[in-house]
Amino acid sequence: MQNRVIFLADFDYFFAQCEELRNPTIKDKPIVVGVYSGRTEDSGAVSTSNYIARKYGVKSGLPLFMAKKKLEGTDAVFFKVDHEYYDQISSRIMQIFRGYATALEQVSVDEAYMDVTEQVEGSFEKTREYAQKIKADVKTQVGITSTIGVGPNKLVAKIACDSQKPDGLTIIKPHEAKTFLAPLPVDRLLGVGKKTTVKMSEMGIKTIGDLAKYDCQVLVEVFGKAMGIYFHNAANAVDNDPVQEQGEAESISKIGTLKQDTHDLDFILQKTDELSDLVIKEVASKGYSYKTVTIYVVNVDLSSKTRSITLEQPSKDKETITRNVRILFEKFLAESPLEIRRVGVKVSGFSKEQRQQKQLTSFFTSG
Ligand code: DCP
Ligand code: CA
Ligand code: CA
């Protein structure tokens, strides 16, 4: 396989930068964006702050009353979070990114992976100029600065991005990846939380380099097969995870048992209609459009079958599901003489206009 070129772009001090954008006169002051719990005037926590406020020790998670104290005597400005506004800015930037990448995977409101292998013809030599062009385009069109990490995979791109902020650009070529990771503490790897860090430390593993050299077999014994192998690969800068549109891997499905075994189309469609109701509710609540409709059938002999239709255009409505489920069952029943016991309806191939925040870390349990 040709080596991949992956970007991870992260917007700088994002919520605070959004506030700067609509209040340009405060740009030189400490800015704090907070989540106010409302109990007392100052109860709540810092969501984020600009880099001027960070010099005073004001960071995400700090209680607001402490932030106030640290910034006493300065002309600091405090804001309440305004997610709707930040989401709008985020969508505009993601839209720009789309034009620069073959695949885009948004992982949170201010972060997205891009697969740009084709665009730079697999050459890391071309990445600096290309990344700078993206950054400049976002700055000109939207007014927001961002940091880009470049690597041969998502793992390296992410850590590269974190290594120099704000307005950063860090490029790690494939042959540099292992050396780049080696001196970093193990908890820089996704999935290495507090508990795992302690455990690894007991095993004499402090840095990613230590982990890379560690016997993979023992890692598997201690952390289980999936995590053991993941740690071994990650430490060795191996990560084949594709850049995937959010939701692309997902599907929404409902399955139910028929009141009686049957080969009757209308009887089956009554059931699938109920299931489609549930499916479309979930699809709508997530703001998805779907591109594929699938039926699932369990026959009386317990053999199971699926049949799918991929639509020409993504759809959001229930009618498209029921119409295609009917088509699929008409065809299925004509081909299969068996009575049916259970049926299911599934939609997949999602796209989404308004992307929701998704934390990459949510794939892992803490520790
Ligand atoms: N955020 C939050 N609470 C946290 C962490 C983050 O509400 N504990 C929000 C506010 C941030 C946004 O998410 O602006 C993005 O988080 P980042 O971790 O990317 O932090 P920033 O963009 O604020 O700063 P940086 O320049 O370090 O990326
Ligand atoms: Ca950020
Ligand atoms: Ca981020």
Nearest CA to 102 out of 198, 233, 214, 245 is that of: 245
Q: Does position 219 have pLDDT exceeding 50, yes or no?
A: yes
Give the Cα separation of 322 and 123 in Å (integer).
47
pLDDT for res 247: 55
pLDDT for res 365: 36
Six-digit token pair at 61?
A: 């998670």
Match 């839209």 to its residue by tokens. 95
Lowest mean pLDDT among 38-47, 151-160, 214-223, 264-273: 38-47
Tell how far the Cα of 33 is from the centroid of ligand 1, in angstroms: 10
Q: Does position 366 have pLDDT exceeding 80, yes or no?
A: no
Q: Which atom of ligand 1 is nearest to the CA of 11?
A: 22
Ligand 1 binding pocket mutation candidate from 60, 62, 161 (most atoms within 8 A of CB)? 60
Quickly state the pLDDT bin for 355 (edges 50, 70, 90): very low
Q: Helix (H, G, I), strand (E, B), or coil: what is residue 290?
A: strand
Nearest CA to 168 out of 130, 135, 144 is that of: 135
Nearest CA to 22 out of 75, 87, 89, 71 is that of: 89
Q: What is the pLDDT of residues 55-106, one digit of tens each?
A: 999 999 999 999 999 999 999 999 999 998 999 999 999 999 999 999 999 9
Residue 110, ligand 1, Cβ within 6 A: yes
In terms of DSSP H, where are the helices of the chain? Answer: 14-22, 51-54, 64-70, 83-98, 127-141, 154-163, 177-181, 194-202, 208-213, 216-223, 225-235, 265-285, 318-335
Most distant CA atoms of the chain, gap in Å = 82
Q: What are phi and psi of 139, to 5 degrees?
A: -65, -45
pLDDT for res 357: 34
Which whole number is the average pLDDT over 171-194? 97
The secondary structure element, H or E, covering residue 34 is strand 31-36
Tell how far the Cα of 164 is from the centroid of ligand 1, in angstroms: 15
Which whole number is the average pLDDT over 195-199? 97
Q: Which of 19, 20, 105, 111 is catalytic?
A: 111
Catalytic status, residue 111: yes
Q: Which atom of ligand 1 is nearest to the CA of 35?
A: 7
Tell how far the Cα of 8 is from the centroid of ligand 1, in angstroms: 15
Residue 361, ligand 1, Cβ within 6 A: no
Nearest CA to 175 out of 116, 213, 115, 124 is that of: 124
Residue with the bigger pLDDT between 241 and 179: it is 179
Q: Does position 362 have pLDDT exceeding 70, yes or no?
A: no
Q: Does position 107 have pLDDT exceeding 70, yes or no?
A: yes
pTM of the model: 0.72
Q: What is the pLDDT of residues 6-27, one digit of tens each?
A: 999 999 999 999 999 999 999 9
Residue 20, ligand 1, Cβ within 6 A: no
